[in-house]
Amino acid sequence: MALIFERPSTRTRVSFEVGVTELGGHPVVLREGETQLSRGESLRDFALVLSRFVAAIGIRTGPHRTVEELAEHSAVPVVNMLTSEHHPCQALADLLTLRERFGDLRGLKLAYVGDGNNVANSLMLLGAAAGMEVAVATPEERRPSLSVDGASVTLTSDPEAAAEGAHALYTDVWVSMGDEASAASLRTSLEPYRLDEALLERARPEAIALHCLPAHPGEEITAGVLYGERSAVWDQAENRLHAQKALLELLVA
């Protein structure tokens, strides 16, 4: 499997490399600047050639259109390992974590609090598809770009309303990759959207805390919640490996 990383990664890189190896495959990691894409080779030619060498292609990049174009021309499955708009492999691991903790996903309430980014988009899509209620609380100007039909997804600017009765509270970094130039204004507008002990109290007594990592304790989540007994964050990170192995078995086997 070719694993193309045009953005940094800890979890995605290691979990895919380990997962492909455990499945009996060989991961070929290609970093930005290492292929002829950086010298103008077209995505079409790149996809046509890689399809002759590998069983699947994973790509982490900025523009979502890059993944779509690669998939249009590839004869093998293309896996989105993160774009600015979506992070579906993360959401698969998140749903696996919820299933481990609560059993059936249907009827569970997941509250996402923070920036309306790629992780929020993918949680809305996959959560709704799994029959969950997804409440997303962001500042008005940072609402998710995606709109998901159906009453199971609600958008609000009130984090406490979103957290009310939730089985899980979820947050992500306030400054995503590519947003560094707006870091100061993002930190100001997202200040009321921290996953802290008070917000967790609004959720169900059995509610868990989720974070896709990397975390910035004291910013989008408190250290007490991240490392506390209601945190499922480390299981969630491990589940990247298991969910992606299942995905690859489905796509490639």
In terms of CB distance, is 98 or 212 closer to ligand CP? 212
The yes or no reply on residue 11 touching ligand CP (CB under 6 A) is yes
Q: Are strands 109-113 and 133-137 parallel, antiparallel or unpaired?
A: parallel
* 90 catalytic residue (yes or no): yes
Alpha-carbon distance of 15 to 20, in angstroms, equals 8
Q: Is 9 in the site for ligand CP (CB under 6 A)?
A: yes
How far apart are CB 90 and ligand CP at their closest, in Å?
A: 5
Minimum Å distance from CB 248 to ligand CP?
A: 16
178 interacts with ligand CP by CB under 6 A: no
Identify the residue among 23, 28, 128, 213 touching ligand CP (CB under 6 A): 213
Q: State the DSSP string of 18-84.
A: HHHHHTT---EEEETTSSGGGGT--HHHHHHHHTTT-S-EEEE-S-HHHHHHHHHH-SS-EEE---S
Query: Which residues does 158 contact at the CB level (< 8 Å), separation at least 6?
Result: 137
The answer to whether 134 and 152 have CB atoms below 8 angstroms apart is yes
60 flagged as catalytic = yes
Alpha-carbon distance of 10 to 16, in angstroms, equals: 10
Query: Are the CB atoms for 243 and 212 separated by under 8 Å?
Result: no
Q: Is 90 in the site for ligand CP (CB under 6 A)?
A: yes
Minimal distance, residue 238 CB to ligand CP, in Å: 12
Considering only 5-13, 49-57, 154-162, 187-195, which stretch makes contact with ligand CP by CB under 6 A? 5-13
172 with 120: CB under 8 angstroms? yes
Stretch that binds ligand CP, among 3-11, 179-187, 201-209, 242-250 (CB under 6 A): 3-11
Q: Out of 7, 172, 196, 211, which one is annotated catalytic?
A: 172
Q: Which is nearer to ligand CP, 82 or 175 (CB)?
A: 82
Q: For residue 153, give both structure tokens.
A: 């997804």
Selected range binding ligand CP among 10-18, 29-37, 123-131, 201-209, rule: CB under 6 A: 10-18
- Which of 11, 90, 211, 236 is catalytic? The answer is 90
Interface pick for ligand CP out of 110, 124, 212, 248 (rule CB under 6 A): 212
Quick one: CA dihedral 11, 86, 199, 163, positive or negative?
Answer: negative
> Least distance to ligand CP from the beta carbon of 78, Å?
17
Q: Tell me the closest approach of the beta carbon of residue 39 to ligand CP, in angstroms.
A: 26
Tokens of 176: 């995503």
Query: Which positions touch ligand CP (CB under 6 A)?
Result: 9-12, 82, 90, 212-213
